[in-house]
Amino acid sequence: MIHTGRHFLQIPGPTNVPDRVLQAMSRPVMDHRGPEFAEMAREVLEGLRPIFQTSGPVMVFPASGTGAWEAAIVNTLSPGDRVLLFETGHFSQLWRQVAEKFGVQVDYVPGNWRRGAAAADAVARLRADTNHAYKAVLVVHNETSTGVASRIAEIRRAMNQAHHPALLLVDVISSLASMEYRHDEWEVDVTIGGSQKGLMVPPGLSFNAVSEKALAANRTAKLPRSYWDWQQMLEPNRSGFFPYTPATTLLYGLREALRMLKEEGLPNVFRRHDRHAEATRAAVRAWDLELLCEEPREYSSSLTAVLMPQGHDADRLRNIILENFDMSLGSGLSKLAGKVFRIGHLGSFNDLMLAGTLSGIEMGLRLAGVPHHVGGVTAALDSLAAAAPAGSPAPAIRSSAGAP
């Protein structure tokens, strides 16, 4: 089938890259040891701090998110160290594998992939650990495979209640610059982020925001590291340089994206994501389909995972939507393969893009013969109308009969 118009990229990352960011990257590569580069890098390194809500350093690696997971582990832990990692879904599983490959002993706290990390489990396990064997607690903030967000502030409270000195390591790869997240206030020690989702930059950059406590742990951590070594990165970063050739072009893009986020204002960015997520859930409910996330306090604002009715394959639906409407939706990962589809509503996104996305799904449900009620799109539009975008005046909705 020949497609016209723009492809709809509605997977939960990589996300649509705004024209401003694309244009910022479309320029000659500069000397990464020259003054112009240092000026740009300093703006980027400073500009990242408010995104993580930290006053501490944020390091940028030329790598996808997996690299930043590895960086967090090798910089803070030693071979044989024990850590607590919460099973939230596919990505907690992958992070566990990275840790285990480095000889870290992972106590994997079981979860059902429909709820976030349970603070009560954390309290119980940390209280029982009177010898402080656990060196770190690892949590994926927004589990991209399930659309469930763990409540990090509660995990931190649980750690404090247990008076446990373990480090807190949090993956915000699919919540950064989309959902409320406070590195300093929640006393997170290492926050792991990526460029390709809420930050609206192509894949290829990832981040470690680090606390003083993490830096102290780094001085005694014995896992082997070279490319990921924080000390090697922090020193040149102070003057705007990198210990190796940085991803210059992606950094141009990141600088522009940070400027855009600053112009919009982070609280407005979060409200925008909340509002689109709420409208998406209104559509899912109106279709009479089931949300994978069971706990309303843990709904993700950057993506929604939708369960298929028994006997209907999510990948078949996704393929029909791709072929007919040129829209990509996220697949079910690992044990959710074929059972869920995921709608990404994060990054550079607006009301009409959401309306188009949901229309494509509603038309796809019909074409695929998936049992559902019509009216999901209308329910989403009603939800959007009821919650005006941040900064706009209250909507003046008139019925067509009363229109002048």
Whole-number Å distance between alpha carbons of 237 and 234: 5
Q: How far is the CB of 24 from ligand PLP (least distance, A)?
A: 21
Q: Does 332 bind ligand PLP (CB under 6 A)?
A: no
DSSP 213-241: HHHHHHHH--S--STT-HHHHHHHHTTT-
Nearer to ligand PLP, 195 or 237 (CB): 195
How many Cβ atoms sit within 10 Å of the Cβ of residue 92?
25
Applying CB under 6 A, does 174 fall inside the site for ligand PLP?
Answer: yes
What CA–CA distance (Å, rounded) separates 318 from 329?
6
The reply on whether position 65 binds ligand PLP by CB under 6 A is yes
Among 338, 295, 333, 339, CA closest to 93: 333
Q: Structure tokens of 292? A: 């994978």
Stretch that binds ligand PLP, among 54-62, 171-179, 316-324, 337-345 (CB under 6 A): 171-179
CA distances from 119 to 111, 150, 156, 183, 222 (A): 12, 9, 8, 18, 29
Question: From the CB of 196, what's the least distance to ligand PLP, in Å?
Answer: 6
Q: How many residues bind ligand PLP (CB under 6 A)?
A: 12
Q: Which stretch binds ligand PLP (CB under 6 A): 63-71, 162-170, 300-308, 383-391?
A: 63-71
Select from 59-67, 106-114, 338-346, 377-385 the region that touches ligand PLP (CB under 6 A).
Answer: 59-67
Say whether residue 81 binds ligand PLP (CB under 6 A): no
70 binds ligand PLP (CB under 6 A): no
The count of C-alpha atoms lying within 13 angstroms of the C-alpha of 342, restricted to the half-sphere facing its C-beta, is 23
* Distance of alpha carbon 176 from the chain centroid: 5
Is 171 one of the binding residues for ligand PLP (CB under 6 A)? yes
CB of 49 to ligand PLP, least distance (A): 21
Q: Tell whether residue 344 is a contact of ligand PLP (CB under 6 A).
A: no
Query: What is d(CA 229, CA 243) in angstroms, rounded to the nearest whole number?
Result: 10
Nearer Cβ to ligand PLP (90/312): 90
Does the protein bind ligand PLP through residue 359 (CB under 6 A)?
A: no
Q: Please give the single-letter amino acid code of residue 37.
A: F
- Residue 44 half-sphere exposure, CB side, CA atoms within 13 Å? 32
Binding segment for ligand PLP (CB under 6 A), chosen from 167-175, 298-306, 337-345, 352-360, is 167-175
- 119: exposed, middle or buried (Cβ count in 10 Å: 0-12, 13-18, 19+): buried
- Smallest gap, in angstroms, from Cβ of residue 384 to ligand PLP? 26
Question: Cα(first)–Cα(last) distance of the chain, in Å?
Answer: 43
Give yes or no for residue 195 binding ligand PLP (CB under 6 A): no
Closest to 362 in 3D by CA, of 276, 284, 274:
284
In the region spanning residues 113 to 152, those forming contacts with ligand PLP, defined by CB under 6 A, are 140, 144
Query: Applying CB under 6 A, which part among 154-162, 168-176, 283-291, 396-404 lies near ligand PLP?
Result: 168-176
Identified binder of ligand PLP from the candidate list 8, 10, 11, 13, rule CB under 6 A: 13
Q: Is 328 in the site for ligand PLP (CB under 6 A)?
A: no
Task: Give the interface with ligand PLP as residue ranges (CB under 6 A).
Answer: 13, 64-66, 91, 140, 144, 171, 173-174, 194, 203
